[in-house]
Amino acid sequence: MLPEITDSHTHLDATAFDLDREDVIERARQAGVTRIITIGSGGGFASASNAIALAQQYPWIWASAGVHPHDAAEPFDIARLEQSAINPRVVAIGETGLDFFRDWSPRDMQERWFRAQIELALRLNKPLIIHSREAGILCLEILQELHAEKVGGVFHCYAENAAFAKTLRGLNFLVSFPGTVTFKKADKLRETVSAIALDQIMLETDAPFMAPEPHRGKRCESAFVVETAKMVAKIKGVSLEELAQVTTENAKRLFRLA
């Protein structure tokens, strides 16, 4: 019997899945993935609508709604985002945050959208999904300033160190690891996983990106989260079943899933 695993962050509405989306979802189910959060953040506001439609179609899929930092140059319209975010199938706000690595949007606009989405999460009492690249300290300062600990959230595709994760824990934030943890040269990331308590960890694919070994270089999909789970279980010295159970309970608690 397959353990129940949660993919806490995927992009099922991505155009990469346009030809076989239903098959991708079915393969996830067959692999033991029983809960998926599909991220409604990207392409301006279109992704939120698409993610919600998928969540309404499948009872074991939920959505988030947000404006990605790459899209921060979009006309500022938090009311429009809120129209999507109030949907009961939306369980989180984001992904939002700051990306000073790509810098595809002006930094002041990124910060404006980030702050507005934290405030939206507080109004709606929904957790945050944070995208942070080379901007961890500023993301943390803004979250602390706006008292984001009241709703908590997750830093997805976690790339900071274990000490940073300990600070996040005090803000009621989890961290989530994708397939990169399986990469041969990811020793530093595996050391970070080892040092973080299991009850602060979730699993994700960030599909269609960053497929884990042995699928590296291929289009990623939710079924592949099992490979990430196997690696994290090995690092933590627990069975795959225990790893799947704890990380799923973490996701259920954060996103208030059934």
Angstrom distance (rounded) from CA 152 to CA 129: 9
pLDDT in the model for residue 1: 64
Mean of pLDDT values over 167-184: 98
Per-residue pLDDT tens over the stretch 45-81: 899 999 999 999 999 999 999 999 999 998 899 999 9
| Digit-coded pLDDT (tens) for 195-217 | 999 999 999 999 999 999 999 99
The answer to whether 14 and 161 have CB atoms below 8 angstroms apart is no
Read off the tokens for 218. 């291929």
The CA–CA distances, whole Å, from 53 to 34, 46, 68, 77, 258 equal 18, 11, 19, 21, 19
Cα–Cα distances (Å) from 89 to 27, 34, 58, 111, 160, in that order, read 22, 16, 10, 26, 30
The pLDDT confidence band at residue 101, using thresholds 50, 70 and 90, is confident
Rounded CA gap, 222 and 10, in Å? 7
Rounded to the nearest integer, the mean pLDDT of the chain is 96
Lowest mean pLDDT among 75-79, 92-96, 218-222: 75-79
CA distance 186 to 169: 23
Asked if 243 and 236 count as a contact pair (C-beta separation under 8 A), the reply is yes
CATH number of domain containing 26: 3.20.20.140
Amino acid occupying residue 205: T
Say if CB 66 and CB 232 are below 8 A apart: no
Q: Domain span at residue 47?
A: 5-255
Under 8 Å between Cβ of 238 and 189 = no
Among candidate residues 252, 256, 234, 254, the one with its CA nearest the CA of residue 243: 234
Number of other residues whose CB lies within 10 A of the CB of residue 78: 17
What's the Cα-to-Cα distance from 242 to each of 3, 164, 213, rounded to whole Å? 9, 25, 21
134 Rama class: left (phi>0) / alpha (psi -120 to 50) / beta: left
pLDDT of residue 247: 98
Average pLDDT over residues 225-233: 98
Closest among 92, 100, 114 to 174, alpha carbons compared: 92
pLDDT surpassing 80 at residue 2: no
Q: What is the dihedral of CA 10, 15, 18, 22, to 10 degrees?
A: 0
- Confidence at residue 42, expressed as pLDDT on a 0 to 100 scale: 85
Q: What is the pLDDT averaged over residues 102-124? A: 95
Domain count for the chain, please give it: 1
Q: Measure the CA–CA gap between 85 and 120, rounded to whole angstroms.
A: 9
Closest of 81, 83, 150 to residue 113, by C-alpha: 81
Q: Give pLDDT tens digits for 4-61.
A: 999 999 999 999 999 999 999 999 999 999 999 999 998 878 999 999 999 999 999 9
Predicted local distance difference test score (pLDDT) of residue 233: 98
Residue 149's pLDDT band (boundaries 50, 70, 90)?
very high
Examine the pLDDT at 103 and tell me if it is beyond 90: no
